[in-house]
Amino acid sequence: MRKNILVIVALCLTSVNFHIASASTNLATIDCNAVSIPIKECLHKIITHVNALVTENNSLTEEVNQLRSDLAILQNKEAFHEFKIGGDPNYFYPVWFQDLSSCWAAGESRLTIARANVHADGQIKGSMVARFVYHGSGWGHQSDYLEMAINNSPGSAYVYSDFIADISLAYHSLPGLAVWLRGGLTYGYKGNCTQAPKFDVDNDLYIYGDLFFQKTNVIKTTVSNLKNKGWRQVRTTGGPANINDLIWGVIDSIRED
C-alpha cells in the first residue's frame, strides 16, 4: 500500500509544471519505505515538499513575468509612436506625457516630439522636432529643471510655422511634461520613460479627476522665441506645489545645435 501511495504521489508530482529533477531530489530525502514511518507522516512530508516546490515554481513564474514586463517597457521606450490630435488646427491642445516614477528618481527624463515629414496631413503643412530634457519638482522637492530645443520648418511657404503654444513642467506628484500641440495634425513621440500621451480635444484635460489644462489659441512669446535657437534652459522661479504651473523664469543658451 505504501508503494501504491508513493506511485500516486510521484505521478501527481510529474504532472505539476515544475522541474522534475527538483521533485526527484526532494522525494529522495523521504524514506517512506521504512516500516517505522506511519503512512500519515509520510504523506505529510511529501505534501510539505510538494508545497515547497509549488511555491518555488510560483516564485520563478513571477520573476519571469516581471522580466517580460520590464522588457516590454524597455521596448516601448525605445520605439517611436505616432498619434493624431483631432480638433481645430487653430487651437493648441494640452498633451500630457507622464513619466514612469523610476525616471523621476533618476533625475532625468528625455522626450522627443516630432512631425518630421513636412507633408504629413497634407501638402506642406510644416515640420517640427522638439526635444526636452527635464526633471519635475513633484510636490515641492525642487531641483527641477527644463532644457529644450525646438526646430520648425521656417518661412511662409508652409501652412503652419508654429506647432507648440506652451509647455508646463507640472508640480504635481505625477512626474511628466505637458505640451500644447496644434490640433488636427499627426505627431510622434519617443522617450526614455514616457507613457502614452493623454489629451482631449472635446473637453478640458483632467488627470485623475483634477482639472489639469485647457486648450488655447494664444502662442506664448516665450515659446515662440525658442524656435530654431538651439538648446535652451529654463531656470524656473519656483512656485507652489500645485498641479499645473511652470513659472517661466530666465531662459539661458546652454549649447548650440
pLDDT at 27: 47
Mean pLDDT of 172-200: 89
3-state secondary structure of 151: strand
Question: Does 161 or 68 have the greater pLDDT score?
Answer: 161
196/98 Cα distance (integer angstroms): 8
The answer to whether 233 and 136 are in contact (CB under 8 A) is: no
Instruction: Name the residue ranges covered by the structural domains of the chain.
Output: 2-77, 81-255
pLDDT at 141: 78
What's the grid cell of residue 78?
Answer: 525605445
The answer to whether 65 and 55 are in contact (CB under 8 A) is: no
Mean pLDDT of 159-166: 92
The answer to whether 81 and 58 are in contact (CB under 8 A) is: no
pLDDT at 86: 92
Mean pLDDT of 97-106: 84
Mean pLDDT of 105-132: 92
7/91 Cα distance (integer angstroms): 75
What's the grid cell of residue 247?
Answer: 513659472
pLDDT at 54: 84
Confidence of residue 118 (pLDDT cuts 50, 70, 90): very high
Mean pLDDT of 78-105: 89
What's the grid cell of residue 136?
Answer: 519635475
34/100 Cα distance (integer angstroms): 58
Whether the predicted pLDDT of 123 surpasses 80: yes
Confidence of residue 171 (pLDDT cuts 50, 70, 90): low
Q: What is the mean pLDDT of the chain?
A: 76
Whether the predicted pLDDT of 16 surpasses 60: no
Q: Which of 107, 159, 139, 165 is nearest to 242 (CA)?
A: 139
Confidence of residue 245 (pLDDT cuts 50, 70, 90): very low
The answer to whether 143 and 108 are in contact (CB under 8 A) is: no
Whether the predicted pLDDT of 210 surpasses 80: no
Mean pLDDT of 94-117: 89
Q: Report the percentage of the chain scoring pLDDT > 90.
A: 25
Give whole-number Cα distances, 133 to 13, 136, 218, 232, in Å.
Answer: 54, 10, 24, 10
139/239 Cα distance (integer angstroms): 10
Render pLDDT for 18-41 as a digit per residue (tens, 0 to 9). Answer: 343 444 444 445 556 655 667 777
Question: Does 119 or 194 have the greater pLDDT score?
Answer: 119
Mean pLDDT of 102-124: 90
Whether the model pTM is above 0.85? no
What's the grid cell of residue 32?
Answer: 517512506
Whether the predicted pLDDT of 212 surpasses 90: no
Give exposure, 68-89, as e/b (b: 16+ Cβ within 10 Å): eeeeeeeeebeeeeeeebebee
Mean pLDDT of 196-202: 90
